[in-house]
Structure 1
Amino acid sequence: MAKLENGYVQVYTGNGKGKTTAAIGQGVRSAGNELKVYMVQFLKTFDTGELKSIKKLEPYFQIFRFETPRGFFWTLNDKEKEELKIEIQEAYKFCYEALEKNKCDVLIMDEIMGALSNKLVSVDQILELIRIKPKSVELILTGRNVPEEIVKKSDLVTEMKEIKHYFEKGVAAREGIEY
């Protein structure tokens, strides 16, 4: 089984499409080289094509979700937001333990910056994961609006910049393409 000598911290951010897609692409490449990949998806509860595809790559690539389907964050009432925060913290603990116990070679925290923007996790919590990350583990973080403190601690930051998008023409999210 392949092992990484040096794992780094990668961030995929920006307003453009492709953050999750880039992270999954890296995960597929890693799984193809028999690295163990965990992907924890935050703020995503609906059925997506990647769930079906990644199932075929088990045991090398696994996706984990901890949240009850509720709708978008901005549509939730205070009680639902508090319930969501508890679930997000469970997902965070899972990630912490995965790093602490060296359970995977690549840990993808998909849309963790969305959880951060909605105050469901803190900057300090994410910095703590970067701090405890074993040398041989690649940590991939996705989402918009990455705080400068996280950028400074990261080794690679790629910004997806939207130049033109068919959503502007009223095209809705499409199964198999956007989800």
Structure 2
Amino acid sequence: MERKGLVHVYTGNGKGKTTASVGLGIRAAGREFKVVMVQFLKSSDTGELKIIEQLPNFEVHRFERPRGFFWTLDENEKKELQEDIDTALRFVDERLSKGDCDMLILDEIMGAIGNNLVDPNVLASKIANRKEHLEVVLTGRNVPEVIKEIADYVSEINPIKHPFDKGIPARRGIED
């Protein structure tokens, strides 16, 4: 009998949603699962990308051109971003329908939903109708109800204390 894949959500205002999804991906890759991660709204270099590059069965895909935060973009840049997101979504659609990986991580997809770049109802429907073995992991703040409804796991990461509150900026290798 083929393994049934489940849907995981890492949400909340705390640090560690991407880190949790990468950890789960590494665990799966260690068991020889093929892991595909698509990162949304991220274009800067991060430490986890360096180590993932060394893993034979863990791929990371980014479709967006480097640019500033969403709220700093002009209308033309937002249009370009939507085109990049649409390209990423076509890639995601293929993975969901073909089932050619064991785990699909959609990192910061909630941010793309929150900025009205992704329709949560369409995404939920596609995830619900994916190949049965495919494990799906979604990250980001403010998870919509329609995504919660299809999820098997919803984990909320909330800050109790954070060094940024004391004026300590992101540190290389820890926050990036």
* Shorter-chain TM band: over 0.9
C-alpha separation in 2, matches of 1:170 and 1:78: 32
Question: 1:177 aligns to what SS in structure 2?
Answer: coil
Q: Paired residue for 2:113?
A: 116
Aligned partner letter, 2:160: I
Matched, 1:48 2:46: yes
C-alpha separation in 2, matches of 1:135 and 1:73: 34
C-alpha separation in 1, matches of 2:122 and 2:105: 15
Give the share of equivalent positions with the same residue, in percent: 55
- Counterpart among 6, 12, 15 of residue 14 in structure 1: 12
C-alpha separation in 2, matches of 1:102 and 1:149: 22
- Counterpart among 120, 124, 128 of residue 125 in structure 2: 128
Q: Paired residue for 2:28?
A: 30
- TM-score by length of structure 2 reads 0.97
1:130 deviation in Å? 1.5
1:152 deviation in Å? 1.1
C-alpha separation in 2, matches of 1:85 and 1:177: 30
Gaps of 5+ in 1: none
Contact 1:4 1:105 in 2 (8 A): no
1:162 deviation in Å? 0.8
C-alpha separation in 2, matches of 1:39 and 1:89: 16
Aligned partner letter, 2:139: T
C-alpha separation in 2, matches of 1:48 and 1:128: 31
Aligned positions of 1:118-157 closer than 5 A: 118-157=115-154
Question: 2:67 aligns to what SS in structure 1?
Answer: coil
C-alpha separation in 2, matches of 1:157 and 1:37: 20
1:129 deviation in Å? 2.3
Q: 4+ residue runs of structure 1 moved beyond 2 angstroms?
A: none
Matched, 1:175 2:166: no
Deviations 1:41-100 (A, max 9, x none): 000001111111100102x10000000001111110000001001100110110110111
Aligned residues: 176
Contact 1:123 1:150 in 2 (8 A): yes
Q: Paired residue for 1:65?
A: 62
- TM-score by length of structure 1 reads 0.96
Question: 2:25 aligns to what SS in structure 1?
Answer: helix
Question: 1:62 aligns to what SS in structure 2?
Answer: strand
Query: RMSD of the TM alignment (CA)?
Result: 1.2
